[in-house]
Amino acid sequence: GLPKERVIGSGTILDSARFRLLLSEAFDVAPRSVDAQIIGEHGDTELPVWSHANIAGQPLKTLLEQRPEGKAQIEQIFVQTRDAAYDIIQAKGATYYGVAMGLA
């Protein structure tokens, strides 16, 4: 294999950006006010790090306690995040620019 200095990968940077955007829309805050990550391998095996997610400085867990529908809503947000690439491929045939934008 290549030395680590020569390996470039996008990991889940694009998924994390999508996740933050969708959470920001759900909680009506700017995306930069959301601190939430997707980890693992891009695609079906990725996972959200719920325990460290914060919205506008508040732990996601605290915010969900105030919203009865919140748990189902954020689960749907994760599904949208995970499946976004499939939706793009179905509509356009491939994902062309997202990874480049994420790494730029």
| Domain range summary for the chain, segments of one domain joined by + | 4-97
52 counts as catalytic: no
Catalytic residue among 26, 40, 42, 99: 42
pLDDT at 59: 97
Is residue 50 within 8 Å of 61, Cβ to Cβ?
yes
End-to-end CA distance of the chain, in Å? 25
Tokens (6 digits) for 78: 């994760």
Helix residue ranges, H only, the chain: 13-27, 60-65, 70-92, 98-103
In this prediction, residue 4 has a pLDDT band, given cuts at 50, 70 and 90, of: confident
75 pLDDT above the threshold of 80: yes
Q: Which CATH architecture fits 4-97?
A: Alpha-Beta Complex (3.90)
List, in sequence order, every residue forming a beta bridge with 35; answer none if it has no partner. Answer: 54
The residue type of 12 is: T
pLDDT at 43: 79
In this prediction, residue 99 has a pLDDT band, given cuts at 50, 70 and 90, of: confident
Q: How confident is the model over 35-40, as a mean pLDDT?
A: 94
Rounded to 5 degrees, φ, ψ at 34 are: -110, 125
